[in-house]
Amino acid sequence: MTRGAGLIADCHLWQALDSRGDPTVAATIEIGSASGTALAPAGASAGSHEALFLRDGGSAYGGRAVADHIARVQERVRAAVIGVDAADPWAVDGALRALDGDDRLADIGGHVGTAVSIAAWLAAASAQGVAPWQLLVGATARPPTLPLPMVNIVSGGAHAAGIIDIQDVLCVPVGAGSFAEAIEWCSRVRAGTRAVLAEAGFATALIADEGGLAAPFASDDDAIAAVVEGIARAGLQPGSDVAVALDVAATECFAGGQYRMAGQRVSSPEFVDRIRQWRQRYPLVSIEDGAAEDDDEGWALLAELRPETQVLGDDRYVTSPQRVLRGIERGEANAVLIKPNQAGTLARALDAIVAASGAGWASVVSARSGETEETWLADLAVGTGAGQIKVGSTMRSERTAKWNRLLWLEQTAGLPYAGRAALARG
């Protein structure tokens, strides 16, 4: 990363809208005649240890506005970052954390930290006349690659009015030889699954927050089985061409020490046992948040799914290097989801990738359910060599913006495709 190429001359925060139509924080950073703008995404199934997303309350946007918050912090944030080297994410992180003092950015908010730190990165790239991914090369000691995509086919949980308990059934095009082929296969699987659902009498025009199909399945099992059938319907081999991944988002099903499962209340071992059975029945290569964020017993049981399966932590690690290191010590997983706005700054997200790869864990750069039309997440995945990316479906423009950026980079940047080797094993 080339430093010293431009000090932040100005920083402006403003209220924008995310893909759900909710207000979010945008930042525009200026360096001489160059500038960069970034919007913070927002989760619906946010973990309780994430950097905070502070909303105004009151009447504007049903209490979800951020304009008053911006007015409260604008001048202090501006003063803190002016003069900081925009090409140094750790310097920007240091300035923001010195201003806030709280690990979860309880004063300025993770949305402000995310928007400012990403905008600084984009402004620095623009000032240096390079693509954003190029500025990150070296930051994680991993070579840049085009990531293996993990694509949402069927949605449930907090992204689809709770019609099934688990949040996402995704496909992973493990047999594809290029990023373009991978996306085409996922698009075909979505169409194949849609045909399977239409034949079963479900309405298929309604889509969930991330563009997934949202049908009122009788059970989680039926949803997984429909995606496996959709892979075959697409003319692809379930398992060897296209495998299946789940985001159980188990924190959303957990209350009072028990899980809600198909209308019943069950223990951690019972909940994890159902995942084990799914793995025997379906070609599953990755399980995300198979236990709730603070359920140590559940995570210890999930560890037994390794090494064949990618055991991926989202709410468990909230893109925090310290939490990733604790997970590594416990030996409970082998992969971490990377969401910059969980960390609150770009630098902390980079540190989480470094912590993961130091132990041979995989990293999956991820969008949120409340996304934006921006493309920097694709550059983050490429420049850090993360190896995997999860953005939602192959439709909805806030999703396709990222896929299209990667399709363009595959055409023009001469980057290798990470492919199935990026999946965690171990």
Catalytic residue among 30, 50, 210, 410: 210
The single residue among 6, 23, 36, 43 that binds ligand PGA, judged by CB under 6 A, is: 43
403-416 core/surface letters (b: 16 or more CB in 10 A; e: else):
bebbbebbeeeebe
Catalytic residue among 332, 339, 402, 410: 339
Task: Note the helical H segments in 253-375.
Answer: 268-281, 296-302, 321-330, 340-343, 346-358
Q: Is 18 in the site for ligand PGA (CB under 6 A)?
A: no
Nearer to Zn ion, 43 or 385 (CB): 43
Task: Note the helical H segments in 29-81.
Answer: 67-81
Q: Is 44 in the site for ligand PGA (CB under 6 A)?
A: yes
Residues 307-326 that bind Zn ion (CB under 5 A): 314
Distance of alpha carbon 225 from alpha carbon 210, whole angstroms: 20
Nearer to Zn ion, 247 or 293 (CB): 247
User: Of the listed pieces 40-48, 171-179, 235-243, 398-406, which binds ligand PGA according to CB under 6 A?
Assistant: 40-48
Our answer to whether residue 210 is catalytic in this structure is yes
The amino acid occupying position 360 is G
Binding letters toward ligand PGA, positions 60-99, x by CB under 6 A: ----------------------------------------
Distance of alpha carbon 260 from alpha carbon 256, whole angstroms: 10
Distance of alpha carbon 237 from alpha carbon 234, whole angstroms: 9
CB of 205 to ligand PGA, least distance (A): 22
Distance of alpha carbon 325 from alpha carbon 328, whole angstroms: 5
| CB-facing half-sphere around the CA of 357: CA atoms within 13 A | 19
CB of 129 to ligand PGA, least distance (A): 33
Q: At what angle do helices 179-199 and 220-233 cross, to 10 degrees?
A: 120
366 binds, among Zn ion, ligand PGA, none (CB under 5 to 8 A by kind): ligand PGA
CB of 158 to ligand PGA, least distance (A): 6
User: Of the listed pieces 38-46, 103-111, 271-279, 378-386, which binds ligand PGA according to CB under 6 A?
Assistant: 38-46
Q: What beta strand segments (E) does 64-210 contain?
A: 148-155, 168-172
CB of 392 to ligand PGA, least distance (A): 8
Q: Is 50 in the site for ligand PGA (CB under 6 A)?
A: no
For residue 154, give every residue at least 6 positions away whose Cβ sits within 8 Å of its Cβ, in sequence order, or none: 164, 168, 169, 193, 212, 213, 214, 215, 217, 223, 226, 227
40-76 core/surface letters (b: 16 or more CB in 10 A; e: else):
bbbbbbbbebbbbbbbbeeeebeebbbbebbeebbee
46 binds, among Zn ion, ligand PGA, none (CB under 5 to 8 A by kind): ligand PGA
Binding letters toward ligand PGA, positions 160-199, x by CB under 6 A: -------x--------------------------------
Q: Is 366 in the site for ligand PGA (CB under 6 A)?
A: yes
For residue 263, give every residue at least 6 positions away whose Cβ sits within 8 Å of its Cβ, in sequence order, or none: none
Number of C-beta neighbours around residue 359 at 10 A: 14
Both tokens assigned to 50: 């994430």
Nearer to Zn ion, 6 or 327 (CB): 327
Our answer to whether residue 339 is catalytic in this structure is yes
Residues that bind ligand PGA (CB under 6 A): 43-46, 158, 167, 247, 249, 314, 366, 368-369
Residues that bind Zn ion (CB under 5 A): 247, 314
Active centre residues (catalytic): 210, 339
